[in-house]
Amino acid sequence: WKLPSSSAPVVERARRREEVYQGPHVHRAPDVVVELAQHDGYGLSLVPTPWGDAARTSVRRLEDFELAGGKGRGMNGVHTPHGIWIQTNTEGARGALAAAHIADTAPTILRAMGVAFDGALEGRPLGGARAYSAAEEAVVAERLRKLGYLE
């Protein structure tokens, strides 16, 4: 597939699930993980095509009204394989944070919340994490509401 406006590819690359995921549940992941290309610095996205409308094509620019709304009600963002971890590090272990992996997220959050876990998770808890204060939690909840993740 190519973008109608520039003939640029829609797909950056496709990878086998074993190249992307690891662990005992890899077989539950899609066989192929498709990474969409960027166009003019913006990530492309996949949304349902209204096949009943013959004037619509499978690759098209979204109308303004299709962009608004939270999860399931439009397109308001895309995910990429890159992320950011923001943490107050009171233990001074900068090297440990530089080597952080996404699998460290759950153990770190569980420890910060004081929830015991049996260590069967991948990853390790990172130092210096703490639970949100009530005020911080309210801010995060409001942001998630605006994005459509909370009612």
Q: What is the pLDDT of residue 32?
A: 94
pLDDT of residue 94: 52
The pLDDT value given to residue 66: 65
Tokens 């990429």 belong to which residue?
A: 80
Average pLDDT for the chain? 75
Kind plus residue range of the DSSP H or E element containing 141: helix 134-147
Specify the pLDDT at position 7: 78
- Residues in the chain predicted with pLDDT less than 70, given as ranges, are 1, 3-5, 47-60, 62, 66-77, 79-99, 119, 128-131
**The token pair that represents 96 in the structure block:** 């440990």
Q: Which residues pair with 42 in a beta bridge?
A: 39
The answer to whether 90 touches 128, Cβ cutoff 8 Å, is yes
Question: The whole model's pTM is what?
Answer: 0.46
